[in-house]
């Protein structure tokens, strides 16, 4: 009897130790949250418009270089060696201008990257702070983004706090 009581006490205390160290998790769907934030939609549209405008500028330079090359091909038999060299240099210069402009706008540290940072960072920071606040309030040790497709096979909708994050943000 004493032995049974000892085993029960050990099991009982183990249960409380395991239970007290259990970690709480929550899920969010960042895509869903961002789609429901009007400022994000406006920023996305603004980036799209700027990107199209800049791409049109790059395309115009490439078209101009292509036209210059076609004209050169048509007239090459009538040009002196010096004139050929001048035309070739002009075509290469135009192609370089197009490549430089493309890099300026769309490169890793280009204008589009900077524009995206300036428009999206405040929104992302606001979402992060809302998630952090809810997590601290509810005692979540980790919040996982289910939209990132990072290997989540199943997740109960009961632990998805996306709507609560939107509420916290006022949407």
CB 68 within 8 Å of CB 120: no
The residue among 140 and 35 whose pLDDT is bigger is 35
- Rounded alpha-carbon distances, angstroms, from residue 70 to 63, 79, 80: 10, 14, 17
Tokens of 165: 């994050």
Asked whether residue 9 carries a pLDDT value surpassing 50, the answer given is no
**pLDDT for 154:** 55
Mean pLDDT of the chain: 85
**pLDDT for 142:** 82
The residue among 141 and 65 whose pLDDT is bigger is 65
Asked whether residue 16 carries a pLDDT value surpassing 70, the answer given is no
**pLDDT for 18:** 43
pTM of the model: 0.70
Cα–Cα–Cα angle for 29, 19, 159, rounded to 5 degrees: 15
pLDDT tens sequence across 19-53:
445 678 888 889 999 999 999 999 999 999 999 99
pLDDT tens sequence across 92-138:
999 999 999 999 999 999 999 999 999 999 999 999 999 889 988 88
Q: Kindly state the percentage of the chain with pLDDT values over 90.
A: 58
Spatial CA neighbour of 30 closest among 152, 122, 170, 131 = 131
């Amino acid at each position: 009897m004493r032995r049974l009581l000892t085993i029960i006490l050990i099991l009982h205390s183990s249960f409380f130790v395991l239970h007290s160290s259990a970690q709480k998790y929550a899920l969010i769907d960042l895509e869903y949250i961002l789609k429901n934030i009007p400022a994000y939609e406006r920023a996305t549209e603004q980036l799209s418009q700027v990107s199209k405008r800049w791409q049109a500028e790059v395309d115009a330079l490439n078209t101009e270089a292509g036209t210059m090359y076609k004209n050169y091909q048509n007239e090459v038999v009538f040009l002196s060696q010096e004139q050929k060299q001048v035309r070739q240099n002009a075509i290469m210069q135009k192609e370089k201008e197009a490549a430089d402009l493309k890099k300026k706008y769309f490169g890793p540290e280009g204008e589009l990257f900077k524009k995206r940072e300036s428009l999206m960072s405040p929104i992302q920071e606001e979402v992060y702070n809302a998630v952090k606040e809810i997590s601290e309030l509810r005692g979540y040790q980790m919040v996982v983004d289910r939209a990132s497709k990072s290997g989540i096979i199943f997740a109960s909708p009961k632990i998805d706090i996306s709507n609560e994050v939107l509420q916290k943000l006022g949407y």
